[in-house]
């Protein structure tokens, strides 16, 4: 097991191998993610029953929860990539750190926007400075800060190190987002989906939610692979394999 992980780490750490991995995975990852997203959203919007108190406004859950969880998972992945980049100085970790940020930022923005549009018809307000919402706003700013650092510093390795440090320490905020609704009193309710124990959502509403969640996460993965592949090509543009590749594609 450990050996397999180690081999993967070294293979995917090689830009050329990583490029081939993307070529193999992306052709099915994109259609699978879009299909799951379509099934989950149509099921949730058209076929799922209405919620007893919230009526149809609850249907925003099918984008709000996948986007919020995706933004949080993406940030955790950036924290891991940041740690590997800082300690092992692995180039591919720097590439992943750069590739993970833009879509994660978009999902954090989607989470905030859809949350506001859901809050108005249910709570009666678009926005309150409660701990869950404020920490989610900080998550968006952390994503934007990492992107700004990556673009503001000329030397790509310097830029990657600065961004990596922010990514690692920002993981603390993910913990705050997750537990704010348990440790503090907030307007936002507690978690519905639970990894351990029974989720407090009826099965007729849960399945479309899980499917659209899987779809959006996989779409995030596809976006990251596309961005990372571009970054690899750009960084390795002087190497023989990239030149041969481009020439073969032209021929």
Partner 1 sequence: MNPVRKQRLFVVLAVLAGLAVAVGLAVYALRQNINLFYTPQQIVNGEAPVGAKMRVGGLVEDGSVQRDPDTLDVVFTVTDGKGSFAIHYQGILPDLFREGQGVVANGTLVSRDRFEADEVLAKHDETYMPPEVQDALEKAGHPGSKPGAKEEDAGYPKGDYD
Partner 2 sequence: MFDPYFDSVAAFIAMGEHGFFVWSAYGLSALLIVTNMLVAVRRQGRVRAEIARQARRDGARTSPKAGTSSNSVESNQ
Identify whether the C-beta of residue 87 lies closer than 8 Å to the C-beta of residue 127: no
Q: Is position 69 an interface residue for partner 1 (rule: CB under 8 A)? A: no
The Cα 243–Cα 181 span in angstroms is 52
215 is written with which tokens?
Answer: 């779809």
Q: Is position 219 an interface residue for partner 2 (rule: CB under 8 A)? A: yes
What are the two backbone dihedrals, phi and then psi, of residue 209, each rounded to the nearest 5 degrees?
-65, -45
Residues 208-227 that bind partner 1 (CB under 8 A): none
Q: Which stretch binds partner 2 (CB under 8 A): 14-22, 128-136, 140-148, 184-192?
A: 14-22
Residue 119 half-sphere exposure toward CB, CA atoms < 13 A: 17
Give the H or E element holding residue 59. none
Q: Is position 64 an interface residue for partner 2 (rule: CB under 8 A)? A: yes
Q: Is position 139 an interface residue for partner 2 (rule: CB under 8 A)? A: no
Residue 59 Cβ vs partner 2, minimum distance, rounded to whole Å: 5
Partner that binds at residue 142, options partner 2, partner 1, none, CB closer than 5 to 8 Å by kind: none
Which of 29, 36, 40, 60 lies at the binding interface for partner 2 (CB under 8 A)? 60
Residue 190 Cβ vs partner 1, minimum distance, rounded to whole Å: 5
Q: Give residues with Cβ within 8 angstroms of 10, minimum separation 6.
A: none
Identify whether the C-beta of residue 32 lies closer than 8 Å to the C-beta of residue 231: no
Pick between residue 51 and residue 236 the one whose CB is nearest to partner 1. 51
Which of 24, 152, 169, 246 lies at the binding interface for partner 1 (CB under 8 A)? 169
């Amino acid at each position: 097991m450990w050996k397999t992980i180690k081999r993967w780490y070294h293979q995917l750490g090689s830009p050329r191998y990583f490029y081939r991995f993307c070529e193999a995975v992306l052709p099915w990852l994109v259609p699978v993610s879009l299909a799951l997203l379509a099934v989950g959203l149509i099921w949730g919007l058209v076929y799922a029953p209405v919620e007893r108190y919230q009526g149809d406004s609850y249907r925003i859950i099918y984008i709000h929860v996948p986007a919020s969880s995706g933004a949080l998972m993406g940030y955790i992945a950036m924290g891991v990539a940041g740690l590997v980049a800082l300690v092992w100085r692995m180039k591919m970790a720097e590439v992943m750190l750069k590739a993970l940020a833009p879509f994660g930022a978009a999902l954090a923005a989607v989470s905030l926007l859809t949350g506001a549009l859901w809050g108005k018809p249910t709570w009666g307000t678009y926005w309150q400075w409660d701990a869950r919402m404020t920490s989610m706003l900080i998550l968006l700013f952390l994503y934007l800060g990492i992107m700004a650092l990556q673009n503001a510093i000329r030397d790509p390795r310097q830029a990657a190190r600065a961004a990596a440090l922010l990514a690692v320490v920002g993981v603390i905020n993910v913990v705050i987002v997750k537990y704010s609704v348990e440790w503090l009193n907030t307007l936002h309710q507690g978690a519905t989906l639970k990894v351990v124990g029974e989720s407090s959502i009826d099965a007729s509403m849960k399945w479309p939610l899980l499917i659209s969640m899987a779809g959006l996460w996989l779409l995030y993965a596809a976006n990251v692979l596309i961005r990372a592949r571009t970054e690899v090509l750009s960084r390795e543009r002087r190497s023989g394999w990239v030149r041969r590749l481009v020439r073969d594609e032209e021929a």
